[in-house]
A and B are shown apart, each in its own frame.
Chain A
Amino acid sequence: MALVIGVGFGPSTWGALRSVIFNGTLAGSPVTDSGDHNVEYVQGFKTTDGNGFVRTDYGALYGNSTSKQYGPNFNAYITSGTSAKFASEYQTSSVGMLVNEDRAQLTGETVALSSGSITMAASAFVSPFQTFTALSTPIINTIGKLTAF
């Protein structure tokens, strides 16, 4: 569907179609202070020199929930014993919250965890998601050039 920027029924600016990628391995809400046309991300991933915003229709400024699974995100968690999953989870869309171009660019990147690292596979974006082995509850530190903040 086409979007018209700057009208009442569409996103107000290009910024409304941007979001950081949330870090599902950190506790708490990724957004604290937010109001009309304003959002402050307190956790997620960003680049060193840039801001880490990615294109998405699921940004907080476009009227979406600020819960981690309702925006662009990466998560890692133990499912049973040492079995774990690495996932870009989604709730409202069968195609995820990251656009295909970003998914393609992120696939193959090294994901540095609190213990060890994995290489992101395309399966990370589609349920039942990428599996790996973890000895303890993983926390994502970096994904390629993206660093957790």
Chain B
Amino acid sequence: MSIQPGVGYTFTASSSGTNFNVQNPWTQWPLYVENFVCSPFKVHGVLKKTGDEGDYVVFEICPGTFNNQMPQVYDSVNEVWKYLNDLAVDTELVLDFASTTSSIVYLRVGPDATTFAFPPTSPTGATDDPYPRIYSTGGALPVDSDAFGYVAIAKVNEISANVYTVEQYVTGSLWGDRLKTGTDTARYYYARI
């Protein structure tokens, strides 16, 4: 075996032997957490885990607001909807990766049935809660309806076994308006802050 000089290091030979000289001392590789910047709704930390019922994929998402309301996301461990800025350390957010190699993380928002505010100012915890919620789907983004508008936040792709990339669509908090004309399905307009 022989080692040749390369970038940042050389060898010198003398009667005493061979010297290995490093001109550019090694520096610590930057850790992921040191360079990570959490922007609103940023999806990150995608990881495959193994549980009692098989493999599942978890993710993390940075807090962001919709019309100044903090959305909620489902904590699968504690089985409760939690605000994005109030997630416990043991929280697990599970991606819908059933039979697919990609999963869309999206925001679902609807109007309050009583005050008609878009969105309501507080969550109810019900299945059809119009309060802003983060979901994921292994299929297509749901189609807008009178009850809910949907915004794709990011798309997670499994490019090889246990290797994931994130296509981030929304990179800031959002404003949104809902307009409905006659019997037509409501239309939703969004603006990034």
A-B contact pairs, 5 of them (CB 8 A): A5-B175, A15-B188, A35-B115, A37-B119, A37-B178
Residue of B nearest to A6 (CB): B191
Q: Which segment, of A38-46, A78-86, A95-103, A129-137, faces chain B?
A: A38-46
- A52 partner residues in chain B, CB cutoff 8 A: 181
* Chain B CB within 8 A of A34 CB: yes
Cβ–Cβ contact A39 & B179, under 8 A: yes
Cβ–Cβ contact A46 & B191, under 8 A: no
Using a CB–CB cutoff of 8 Å, the interface residues on chain A facing chain B are: 5-7, 12-16, 18, 20, 33-44, 46, 51-53, 61, 149
Count of A-B contacts judged by CB separation below 8 Å: 87
Cα-based distance from A38 to B177 in the complex (angstroms)? 6
* Chain A CB within 8 A of B45 CB: no
Residue of A nearest to B111 (CB): A38
Number of residues of chain B lying within 8 A (CB) of chain A: 26
- B181 partner residues in chain A, CB cutoff 8 A: 20, 41, 44, 46, 51-53, 149
Cβ–Cβ contact B189 & A35, under 8 A: no
CB-CB under 8 A for A39 and B180, given A13-B175, A34-B116:
yes
Chain B residues numbered 172-193 whose CB sits less than 8 Å from any CB in chain A: 175-184, 186-193
Cα-based distance from A12 to B173 in the complex (angstroms)? 12
- B117 partner residues in chain A, CB cutoff 8 A: 35-38
- Which are the 9 A-B pairs with shortest beta-carbon distances? A15-B189, A35-B116, A38-B118, A35-B117, A6-B191, A15-B177, A12-B175, A149-B182, A13-B189
Cα-based distance from A12 to B176 in the complex (angstroms)? 7
- B183 partner residues in chain A, CB cutoff 8 A: 149
Cβ–Cβ contact A13 & B190, under 8 A: yes
